[in-house]
Amino acid sequence: MSSKPYEYLEHTADLFFRSYGKSPGECFGNAARAMFSAMIDLDSVKPLLKKTIRLESGDLPALLHDFLSEALFFFGTEGLVFRIFDVRIEEKDGRYRLFASLAGEKFDRKKHVMLTDVKAVTYHGLKVEERKGLWVAEVLCDI
């Protein structure tokens, strides 16, 4: 496995990152961690509130897009930032089901410093694949 859960990649104007995991769920959780780490210092976030996300899709890249978009939606509509990303994915009959529990708190300008304003998760260059037993995702976000 990669020695790190995610890494940021070079891109001229947007946020581009790669996440890793021993399972698709771990890879998706690390993708959410990468996205929120770009937005805010996660060490300043306490896991005081929980949100759950349940999604289904016929392919993993679309599922990842929808998962990250849903997590970002909580930030945009409720002002929530997350620190813990617990994700489980099941596959049955060619369909993927995602069950996620996210923990964090309300964004507070006195406590949290906004690093990057992620506006949207894009489909451009979106990848989820298994490479020699390691799950890898690549994600581009509009900032």
Give the model confidence (pLDDT) of 50-74 as tens digits. 999 999 999 999 999 999 999 999 9
* CA dist., res. 129 & res. 6, Å (int): 15
SS3 assignment, position 36: helix
Residues ≥6 apart with Cβ < 8 Å to 88: 25, 98, 99, 100
Helices (H) and strands (E) counted in the chain, each on its own, are 2, 8
With a cut of 70, which residues of the chain have pLDDT below it? 1-2
User: Among residues 45, 5, 25, 49, which one has the least CA distance to residue 100?
Assistant: 25
Domain residue spans of the chain: 6-142
* CA dist., res. 83 & res. 102, Å (int): 7
Fold annotation for 6-142: Archease, Possible Chaperone; Chain: A; domain 1 (3.55.10)
* CA dist., res. 135 & res. 128, Å (int): 7
Query: What pLDDT is recorded for position 2?
Result: 63
